[in-house]
Structure formats: structure tokens, C-alpha cells
């Protein structure tokens, strides 16, 4: 086989891996991020109140994070394919049965456990680690940016689809159709089924999962990275859950809510791919500080801007640029510190801190709105946390590599 043919086969294999990972993330993330459109119909149908339904969404944020370290450890052990099959099936089931739930406990089970837990199993920890193992090291930054952009593309496509289905079929049938669409991700499990042994280098000393976790949790830079990701989770979950409510509180029609979620997804594609390109050229901790600082500035401007439809769309676009663009440099730092052998587990732990912040953002948004009739208090909290996150990344010691990872 000629060298050019070998290169062509490798290029095709690389793009198939990226297509499988990005497509899976598009379907699972796109479905989860459109759930905010159904908060008001769920409230009308069940009469449970925004606070109670927000609690189900908040449990979803928490379960999505809690699932990822365990899913990552399972993928590190048996490969990503089996974990992805189970995860996709659970997302489809949880989304399909959500309209049948009439109590807070039922919504927590469907949204907060089944759907969110499945999305965690088929989420970034497993997908990013599988991609990192199957893609050459020099292309990992851009590859993780492309996979992350897949989730945003899913949001951009699924939000208008969900709105159109709601208008045409009603909100309950719309949710069930979305649940069935998630099953289109199942073939990707075959493409991403690679063995975890691919991550181990020839000269690397093997570490157990427990040893790798213990080493990571003693690393101050890893802990600072997790603390910053907590803030990212607060911001993303609040926007994903309550941005439609923010727009409704301004007296704007449903279409602006759907298109604002779509704008978040569309511009996060730009932000994610741009950040994936940038991680190979600048310090990743500096890029993270820049993203969090930009969030604080954008929200501050939004608080004083007139709340018109075009302003909402521009704000959603700016937020989209920073929405999940934190993922490529965060993945890059975890891989740089500890290598890829236990990356699904270690990035899963960082994702857990992200979702602890997500729980707080989803739940607190609903509680403060019920108490005050406004989301302004949550926006102020978001600004303070974003500034803190911008500062907390500066002490990270990115320049050095631990001896085990360097080996």
C-alpha cells in the first residue's frame, strides 16, 4: 500500500471518529438543551410550579455530572462503545416518558435520572476520551473543538425542530419524537468502540483508576481547573434552563426563545472550533481566563440594555461564543497533566464539578424568580462567579508536566 493511500485511509478514519463523536453529542446535547422550551408547558399541564419543575431540571444537571466519572471509568475499562449504547438508550427512554409524568418525583426520574444519566454516559467525558485516544496527539485540540461544536450544532438544529414539533403536534408528542430521534446516535458506538489499551504508551507505567484519581486530587492545578468549571456549569445550566423564561418575562413570543437557544448553539460552534484551534497556540489557562472575563462583561452589558427581540438574539450569540468553548482547553489541560490512559475518569471528575454548578444554576434561577419575579439577582451572581473564575485560572501551573504524564 502506497504512503499516500495510507494517509488517505487515516484521514477517512479520523473524520469518521469525529463524525461519530460529534453526531452523538449533537443528538444528546441538542435534546437536553431544548428542554427549557418545555418548562412552561410542563408547568401548565402539571400545575407543579416553576420552582418544582426547575428542581427536576437541577437534578438533571447533577445526575449528568455524577454519571460521568463512573461512565468514564467504565469506558476506560471496557471501551466506549458499550457505554454509549446504554447512554443513548436511556436518553431516548427518559425523554419519551417525560410527558407521562405528573409529579415532581416523576419528572425527577424521567428528566433528572434517566435522560440526564444517559446523556452523561454518552457525554463529554466518554466522547472526548474516545476521540483523544483515536486521534493523533497533534490534532487533539482541534478535534475536541469539533466534537464540542457537535453539541452546539445539535442545539442549533434541535431547538427550532422542537418548537416546530410543539406547534404542529403539541408539546407532549414533540418530546416523544425528540426521544426517538436520539436513537440515531446508536451507530456511532461502533465507530468509537476502541479499547482503552490504545491510550497506554509503550513506556508508560500503568496506574490503577484509583491511583490516578488520588494523584489528580492532590494536584492544585487540577483542583483550580475544577473550581473554574463549576462556574461554567452554573452559567450554562442557567442559560439552558431559564433563557426561555427570561425572554418570556420580557414579553417576547416563543419564537425568540427558540431562536435564542439556536443562536447559543450556532455561535458556540464558532467558539468551540476557534478555541480548539487556539489551544495549540496559546496557554490554555489564559484562554480560559479570557472566556470567563468575556462572560462577565457581556452579562453586565445585557443587564442595562433594552430587552428587545434583536437584543436577545445578539446577547444569545455573544453567550454562544463562550458557552462551551471552555471544554477544549479544559480537556487539553487534563490530558497535558495526566495523559489519556485515565482521561475519561479524570475529565469526568471535572465534569462533575461543572454539573454541581449546573445544579445550582438551574435550581437557583427558578427559586429566585419565584421569590422576586425577576432574574436580575441570578445575573448578578453569574457576573461575580465569572470574574472569580477568570482570576482562579491564573495560578494554574500549565508549563510543567508531571513525570508520569511526560513519560
Which of 9-18, 71-80, 271-280, 285-294 has the least mean pLDDT?
Answer: 9-18
pLDDT digits (tens, 9 = 90+) for 160-178: 888 888 888 888 899 999 9
Q: Give long-range contacts, CB 8 A cutoff, 24+ apart: 209-215.
A: 209/73, 209/76, 209/77, 209/342, 209/345, 212/338, 212/341, 212/342, 212/345, 212/346, 213/342, 213/345, 213/346, 213/349, 215/338, 215/402, 215/404
Position 264 pLDDT exceeds 70: yes
What's residue 200's pLDDT? 44
What's residue 399's pLDDT? 60
Residue 231: which of 369, 112, 384, 377 has the closest Cα?
384
What's residue 201's pLDDT? 44
pLDDT digits (tens, 9 = 90+) for 117-170: 898 888 777 887 777 776 766 666 677 777 777 777 787 788 788 888 888 888
Percent of the chain with pLDDT strictly greater than 70: 88
Using CA atoms, how far apart are residues 229 and 238, in angstroms rounded to an integer?
Answer: 14
Query: b/e map of 8-32 (b: 16 or more CB within 10 Å)?
Result: eeeeeebeebbebbbbbbbbbbbbb
- Residue 385 — left, alpha, or beta (φ > 0 → left; ψ -120 to 50 → alpha)? alpha
Using CA atoms, how far apart are residues 22 and 24, in angstroms rounded to an integer?
Answer: 6
Which of 17-21, 219-223, 231-235 has the least mean pLDDT?
Answer: 17-21
Using CA atoms, how far apart are residues 351 and 346, in angstroms rounded to an integer?
Answer: 9
Q: Residue 297: which pLDDT band, with cuts at 50, 70 and 90?
A: very high
Residue 147: which of 132, 162, 161 has the closest Cα?
132
209-217 and 220-249 helices cross at what angle (nearest 10)? 80
Q: Residue 236: which pLDDT band, with cuts at 50, 70 and 90?
A: confident
Position 35 pLDDT exceeds 50: yes
Q: Find the mean pLDDT for residues 222-226.
A: 91
What's residue 89's pLDDT? 92
Q: Residue 204: which pLDDT band, with cuts at 50, 70 and 90?
A: very low
Using CA atoms, how far apart are residues 354 and 228, in angstroms rounded to an integer?
Answer: 8
What's residue 33's pLDDT? 74
Using CA atoms, how far apart are residues 232 and 351, in angstroms rounded to an integer?
Answer: 10
| Overall pTM surpassing 0.85 (yes/no) | no
> Please, what is the Cα angle at 311 between 308 and 314, to 5 degrees?
155
Using CA atoms, how far apart are residues 406 and 2, in angstroms rounded to an integer?
Answer: 33
Q: Find the mean pLDDT for residues 202-230.
A: 78
Q: Judging by beta carbons within 10 Å of its beta carbon (0-12, 13-18, 19+), is residue 394 exposed, middle or buried? A: exposed
The domains of the chain, with CATH numbers, are 17-187+207-406 (1.20.1250.20)
Q: Residue 295: which pLDDT band, with cuts at 50, 70 and 90?
A: very high
Using CA atoms, how far apart are residues 289 and 225, in angstroms rounded to an integer?
Answer: 11
Amino acid at each position: 500500500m502506497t504512503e499516500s493511500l495510507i494517509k488517505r485511509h487515516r484521514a477517512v478514519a479520523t473524520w469518521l471518529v469525529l463524525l461519530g463523536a460529534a453526531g452523538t453529542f449533537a443528538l444528546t446535547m441538542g435534546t437536553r438543551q431544548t428542554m427549557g422550551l418545555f418548562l412552561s408547558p410542563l408547568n401548565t399541564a402539571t400545575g407543579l410550579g416553576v420552582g418544582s419543575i426547575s428542581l427536576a431540571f437541577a437534578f438533571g444537571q447533577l445526575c449528568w455530572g455524577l454519571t460521568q466519572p463512573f461512565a468514564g471509568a467504565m469506558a476506560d475499562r471496557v471501551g466506549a462503545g458499550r457505554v454509549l449504547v446504554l447512554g443513548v438508550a436511556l436518553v431516548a427512554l427518559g425523554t419519551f416518558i417525560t410527558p407521562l409524568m405528573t409529579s415532581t418525583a416523576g419528572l425527577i426520574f424521567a428528566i433528572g435520572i434517566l435522560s440526564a444519566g444517559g446523556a452523561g454516559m454518552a457525554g463529554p467525558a466518554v466522547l472526548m476520551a474516545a476521540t483523544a485516544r483515536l486521534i493523533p496527539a497533534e490534532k487533539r485540540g482541534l478535534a475536541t473543538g469539533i466534537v464540542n461544536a457537535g453539541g452546539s450544532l445539535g442545539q442549533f438544529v434541535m431547538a427550532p425542530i422542537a418548537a416546530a414539533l410543539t406547534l404542529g403536534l403539541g408539546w407532549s408528542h414533540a418530546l416523544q419524537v425528540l426521544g426517538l430521534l436520539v436513537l440515531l446516535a446508536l451507530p456511532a458506538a461502533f465507530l468509537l468502540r476502541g479499547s482503552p489499551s490504545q491510550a497506554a504508551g509503550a513506556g508508560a507505567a500503568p496506574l490503577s483508576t484509583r491511583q490516578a484519581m488520588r494523584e489528580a486530587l492532590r494536584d492544585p492545578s487540577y483542583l483550580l481547573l475544577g473550581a473554574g468549571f463549576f462556574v461554567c456549569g452554573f452559567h450554562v445550566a442557567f442559560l439552558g434552563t431559564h433563557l426561555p423564561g427570561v425572554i418570556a418575562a420580557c414579553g417576547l413570543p416563543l419564537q425568540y426563545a427558540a431562536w435564542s437557544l439556536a443562536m447559543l448553539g450556532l455561535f458556540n460552534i464558532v467558539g468551540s472550533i476557534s478555541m480548539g484551534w487556539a489551544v495549540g497556540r496559546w496557554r490554555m489557562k489564559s484562554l480560559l481566563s479570557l472566556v470567563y472575563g468575556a462572560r462577565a462583561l457581556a452579562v453586565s452589558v445585557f443587564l442595562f440594555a433594552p430587552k428587545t427581540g434583536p437584543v436577545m438574539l445578539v446577547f444569545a450569540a455573544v453567550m454562544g461564543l463562550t458557552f462551551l468553548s471552555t471544554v477544549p482547553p479544559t480537556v487539553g489541560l487534563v490530558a497535558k497533566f495526566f495523559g489519556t490512559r485515565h482521561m475519561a475518569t479524570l475529565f469526568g471528575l471535572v465534569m462533575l464539578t461543572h454539573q454541581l454548578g449546573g445544579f445550582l444554576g438551574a435550581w437557583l434561577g427558578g427559586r429566585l424568580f419565584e421569590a422576586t419575579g425577576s432574574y436580575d439577582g441570578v445575573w448578578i451572581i453569574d457576573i461575580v462567579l465569572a470574574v472569580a473564575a477568570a482570576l482562579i485560572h491564573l495560578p494554574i501551573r500549565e508549563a510543567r508536566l508531571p513525570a508520569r504524564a511526560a513519560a
